[in-house]
């Protein structure tokens, strides 16, 4: 869901000038026939929520891994309550010097209609230097690359310094059978890890195929919807009373508009702001530096918050997104409801934000419920779980990233970012597993087609991504150099 929609995507508008100066042509990489073949197979298995089947894709990947040398016990197709929404978990055994690492990738794709596309979205098509098909950007490219990398390491009899677990899962894009959530709740033994990597977020942003930045998603905001409700006996509109359900909800929303959440900087947003201070110029750069000081400059925070992207980086945001009220033009409203959508900073829980909203609205006539995404039903109390405040990115991971990215995209900066959308990493983070989002497949900043029509990925970008992931995993888990 989140691919290329977060801080990472946004910073390119300003990063471009710098990037053009720094961009370097990538070294030529050879195609990986196995990765391409798996990619084709995955694209051609429809995994949409409406008619698709992630169990079929999971089973196909399990077969590939077993043919590649994995034992039956080390590759498991795991199906939860819905037989069409299954997952696969594979384990490459390491020396046990460190606790396991986990790679997650979603198998499901967003709906795609043949009549909207120039090619069949479920036929893998190579055309004009691109691979076309639903899931070529989001994220069957990375799924195929991970499966191919694991098979290659298995066939080399490579022993990493920790187990490498790969979980390919259902219902990231929609549906109620999210595989990562389900595995963490029901089969934690299969996926428990010291940290996780999710290629659904972050990654290489490019311009006409030239890499600009390598975005390392190191934390994410938590998504939450709240429903405000005011009820009233109503009556005839010719006899208005001061007690009016619409006014109560409207007043509450007005107070919300005037009450931004306090600003807060964590190690990841600090690193991103430090990077942006070097990219921006003039008063904007001065404001960023003033915000980074201890204590931060309140006037600079206010100025920076005028920009939606900086604002969403600096604080939890809650915004009115829907409104519904009344039942007749000539009747006093018996009911008014609004939806408020929040994106919560790590370190805070949905229940904490619900209490904040109640305090901001300051009106007992307005009830505030949390919407359970699994059922779409309002709940009186929200969960108290929160994503961990992120630690600074792991040194071993940064070292391996710098080493491998530096050979494929010399001079391209690695920028830690906080995704302001949401991906499956939020489940691993809430479960206490620090999670990092990046892929090695570069996507042009003006060619983001995830969820859209004619989704495509540059052939060279796929080949680079395959080389990147394989080399990265070995640099991360190989003997120290």
Q: Are 465 and 141 in contact (CB under 8 A)?
A: yes
Out of 163, 200, 225, 464, the only residue in the binding site for Zn ion (CB under 5 A) is: 200
How far apart (Å, rounded) are the C-alpha atoms in residues 99 and 68? 24
Torsion on CA atoms 297, 298, 304, 305, rounded to nearest 10: 150
Nearest approach in angstroms of CB 201 to Zn ion is: 8
Residue closer to Zn ion by CB (options 222, 304) is 222
Interface with Zn ion, residue 138, by CB under 5 A: yes
Q: Are strands 87-92 and 331-332 parallel, antiparallel or unpaired?
A: unpaired
CB of 168 to Zn ion, least distance (A): 12
Nearer to Zn ion, 23 or 142 (CB): 142
DSSP-derived letter for residue 263 is P
Q: Shortest distance, CB of residue 391 to Zn ion, whole angstroms?
A: 25
Instruction: Pick the stretch among 65-73, 137-145, 259-267, 336-344 that binds Zn ion (CB under 5 A).
Output: 137-145
Cα 43 to chain centroid distance, Å, stands at: 21
Query: Strands 367-372 and 377-379, how do they pair?
Result: antiparallel
CB of 451 to Zn ion, least distance (A): 8
**Identified binder of Zn ion from the candidate list 61, 139, 170, 360, rule CB under 5 A:** 139
Is residue 3 a contact point for Zn ion (CB under 5 A)? yes
Stretch that binds Zn ion, among 132-140, 176-184, 239-247, 344-352 (CB under 5 A): 132-140
The closest alpha carbon to 27, from 334, 418, 409, belongs to: 409
Q: Report the alpha-carbon distance of residue 416 to residue 199 in Å, rounded.
A: 14
Q: In sequence order, which ranges of 68-111 are alpha helices (DSSP H)? A: none
Q: Closest distance between Zn ion and the C-beta of residue 454, in Å?
A: 17
CB 423 to Zn ion: min, Å: 6
- Compute the Cα dihedral for 27, 33, 35, 41 and give only its sign: positive
| Cα radius of gyration rounded to whole Å, the chain | 24
Q: Which stretch binds Zn ion (CB under 5 A): 130-138, 179-187, 265-273, 439-447?
A: 130-138
DSSP secondary structure letter of residue 126: E
Contact code string over 37-76 relative to Zn ion, x by CB under 5 A: ----------------------------------------
The residue among 48 and 349 lying less far from Zn ion, judged by its C-beta, is 48
Q: Using CB under 5 A, list all residues that contact Zn ion.
A: 3, 138-139, 200
């Amino acid at each position: 869901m989140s691919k290329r929609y977060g801080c990472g995507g946004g910073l390119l508008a300003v990063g471009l000038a710098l990037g053009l100066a720094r961009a370097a042509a990538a070294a030529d990489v050879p195609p990986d026939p196995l990765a391409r073949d798996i990619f084709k197979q995955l694209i051609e298995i429809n995994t949409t929520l409406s008619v698709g089947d992630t169990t079929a894709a999971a089973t196909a990947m399990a077969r590939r891994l077993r043919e590649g040398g994995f034992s039956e016990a080390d590759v498991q197709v795991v199906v939860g309550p819905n037989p069409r929404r299954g997952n696969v978990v594979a384990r490459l055994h390491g020396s046990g010097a460190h606790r396991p690492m986990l790679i997650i990738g979603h198998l499901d794709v967003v709906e795609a209609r043949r009549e909207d596309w120039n090619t069949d979205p479920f036929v893998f098509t190579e055309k004009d230097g691109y691979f076309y098909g639903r899931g070529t950007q989001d994220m069957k490219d990375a799924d195929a690359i991970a499966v191919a990398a694991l098979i290659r390491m298995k066939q080399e009899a490579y022993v990493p310094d920790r187990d490498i677990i790969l979980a390919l899962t259902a219902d990231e894009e929609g549906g109620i059978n999210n595989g990562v959530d389900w595995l963490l709740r029901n089969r934690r033994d299969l996926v428990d890890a010291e940290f996780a990597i999710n290629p659904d977020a972050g990654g290489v942003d490019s311009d006409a195929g030239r890499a600009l930045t390598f975005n390392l998603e190191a934390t994410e905001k938590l998504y939450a919807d709240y429903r405000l409700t005011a009820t009233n006996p109503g009556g005839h509109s010719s006899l208005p009373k001061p007690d009016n359900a619409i006014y109560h909800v409207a007043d509450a929303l007005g107070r919300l508009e005037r009450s931004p959440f306090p600003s807060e900087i964590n190690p990841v947003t600090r690193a991103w702001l430090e990077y942006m201070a070097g990219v921006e110029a003039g008063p904007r750069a001065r404001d960023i530096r003033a915000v980074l000081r201890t204590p931060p400059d309140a006037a600079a925070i206010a100025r920076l918050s005028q920009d939606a992207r900086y604002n969403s980086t600096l604080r939890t945001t809650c915004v009115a997104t829907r409104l519904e009220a009344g039942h007749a033009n000539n009747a006093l409203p018996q009911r008014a409801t609004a939806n408020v959508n929040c994106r919560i900073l790590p370190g805070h829980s949905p229940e904490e934000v619900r209490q904040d909203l109640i305090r901001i609205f300051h009106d007992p006539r307005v009830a505030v419920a949390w919407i359970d995404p699994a059922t779409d039903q309002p709940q009186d109390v929200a969960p108290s779980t929160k994503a961990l405040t992120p630690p600074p990115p792991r040194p071993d991971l940064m070292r391996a990233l710098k080493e491998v990215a530096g050979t494929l995209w010399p001079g391209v900066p690695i920028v830690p970012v906080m995704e302001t959308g949401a991906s499956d990493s939020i489940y691993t983070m809430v479960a206490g597993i620090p999670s990092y989002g990046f892929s090695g497949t570069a996507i042009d900043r003006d060619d983001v087609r995830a969820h859209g029509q004619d989704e495509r990925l540059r052939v060279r970008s796929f080949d680079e991504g395959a080389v990147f992931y394989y080399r990265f995993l070995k640099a991360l888990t190989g003997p120290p150099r």
